[in-house]
Structure 1
């Protein structure tokens, strides 16, 4: 049995054993195809299991559904004519096949990237993530006594929905069959903290406990009072500095807009606890900028103040991402909320991985960045 035959056998076995997650095709033979990737997932249509192909063209996405056998035929054609790499993701392992220009194949297996299967519905259901009749929305001033959203809070309501959608997608990498201990560092007035608790407990029926860490005592008292009124028994708020919080049991760490090095303190707590998921929306980024103040920078990008500020924000968060990768996390950075509200809209996510990282290579990338921008140290580095 050659590598491709083995690969297709692995696909069939994963579907039969209900551990199939998805297939990704990459490394197109020619850029002229305008088709960088194809993604394949399992869907159930009219009680029949099918394979749904999403063709990710540079200009648009196209989706087609195939029976299992027709899907295997389509996969064979794509690997023969258009792609040099394919990865099968299952709950047991990842299987990767590379195809050389001379059509020689190599296959290798790695630890699984996913802990949960993808939904097998054809049309993405409209997920209700916020129950407008929830009491906490009234207590926080988002809805009125008639459970209607107050106009000036409409943006906040949309932000909460977007936040829950992001968390929902990130939970694919988390073991949700156990009790999850979630810590929200810098919880503020608790808009997102209450919404997350209500969503996970009352809509998803997960077994979770959430602790909100907030320095301002008045906000902690305010939030604990609402939690009590709403019978949110596994939600509590603590008045404490992030760096002083002492709890090694953290499954998911969240730190949204924790100012400057408070983001690093939060990431550090997540790393020490070996958290499965670390979710940050960094803010302020003063530490590196203050450190290089007055130092001549060669790059013309740093001639203008506004560009300098944004460049060092990117450098700061890139080093954070690299340090997460060094500690065996898969990282991604994306837009959290629309830039029309604030340009500080970046979300940095680290999901725990079992794959070993090339720490020497990561260290070199960090040192090269520091040397390029004349940075002596990054605060998170000093914590680690």
Structure 2
């Protein structure tokens, strides 16, 4: 097969030399039982050297392997001899189509080019930094005066950028008024509150008012002082319990790491205000565990302490998600940031929906969960 494929290899080498290579695709598998419909090959720069990335697109998953140019010739010959009957070499000059018959006869056809520009050669997609070059980062001790991230704060900086990425995606899923009212309940030292305000107001030019609710007055004074220094005129912090906050005009309710039932108090405030978005990162989860303390559980998953703790965290947050669904919210539960950086890494999001809800079916799910784990009542249920 090597001689029959020589025209392809020559065209591939010339396109690379002339900086016109775009990509190479393999198709028409010889055996469908291999469950490998396609292989896509693109040029990348890996550790400063020219390489080729082979994306094996299986029916159930994708696998990626990187090869040098010489290795790529060998792998291509093997794939076209044993796996595929067709290939297309895309260059800026033309498309070269390769057809291989059952008797291994190779035919070529040249078409006009499909691409006018090359694909990016970076191996990894560059992550967008949404939090940068802002005075709040310096005042909160995340960067130095020159804007460089202080090494010990690198994880917090990474968390901030991930948080803003999530928020940006969620804003596209709901309908918001021209003036957005955001309340961050349990704002703490305000890292994420400041980041959200700066990103929405100063970078995205939203008309947004952000209020941080925090019980500790020293942190409220600290945050209000920084807001003043940064000239963040629509950002303020209030010292009071979440339960006492009585403003019902909330478009986005945020409660990140509000301890135990404080998360439920925050969710209830969001439900009462009919907020378009409710964003939580729950922690502690003591209420359910204390209810079932001393009760023998049938499930072997609950035999060991660490598994029991995790299981009841999942049950607590699942019931929260179901209650949000019952109140016309589309819910998502996912990992906020890797366990490598923090254990408090689960994010629960509810986006207001107009779809019809089968409340009886959801009630049955909640009841079955409570019965399975001998739970008398979820705190959020008692609030509603």
TM-score higher than 0.5: yes
Q: 1:173 — aligned with what?
A: 173
Q: Point out the more displaced range, 169-178 or 350-359.
A: 169-178
How many Å separate the matches in 2 of 1:374 and 1:359?
A: 22
1:337 CA displacement: 1.2
TM-score normalized with structure 1 length: 0.68
How many Å separate the matches in 2 of 1:57 and 1:332?
A: 26
Deviation digits for residues 130-172 of structure 1 (CA, Å, limit 9, x no counterpart): 122x111111001111111111111110010000001011111
How many Å separate the matches in 2 of 1:194 and 1:61?
A: 40
SS in 2 for 1:174: coil
Count of aligned residue pairs for this structure pair: 276
CA RMSD of aligned residues (A): 2.3
Q: 2:131 — aligned with what?
A: 130
Is the 1:34–1:58 Cα contact (8 Å) retained in structure 2?
no
Q: 1:243 — aligned with what?
A: 243
Any stretches of 5+ residues in structure 2 without a counterpart? Answer: 1-32, 38-56, 65-118
How many Å separate the matches in 2 of 1:305 and 1:255?
A: 27
How many Å separate the matches in 1 of 2:329 and 2:59?
A: 29
Residues 32/349 of structure 1: CA separation in 2 closer, same or farther (3 Å cut): farther
Is the 1:336–1:345 Cα contact (8 Å) retained in structure 2?
yes
Q: 1:191 — aligned with what?
A: 191
Any stretches of 5+ residues in structure 1 without a counterpart? Answer: 1-30, 36-54, 63-121
1:32 CA displacement: 9.9
Q: 1:276 — aligned with what?
A: 276
SS in 1 for 2:293: coil
1:232 has 2:237 as partner: no
Deviation digits for residues 305-343 of structure 1 (CA, Å, limit 9, x no counterpart): 000000000000000000000000000100001112333
Task: Give the greater-gyration-radius structure (CA).
Answer: 2
SS in 2 for 1:149: coil
SS in 1 for 2:172: helix
Deviation digits for residues 199-246 of structure 1 (CA, Å, limit 9, x no counterpart): 001111111000000000000000000001111000000001011110
Q: 1:14 — aligned with what?
A: none
TM-score normalized with structure 2 length: 0.68
1:373 has 2:365 as partner: no
1:60 has 2:62 as partner: yes
Q: 1:321 — aligned with what?
A: 321
How many Å separate the matches in 2 of 1:362 and 1:232?
A: 42
4+ runs of 1 displaced by more than 6 Å? 31-35, 122-125
How many Å separate the matches in 1 of 2:35 and 2:334?
A: 27
SS in 2 for 1:58: coil
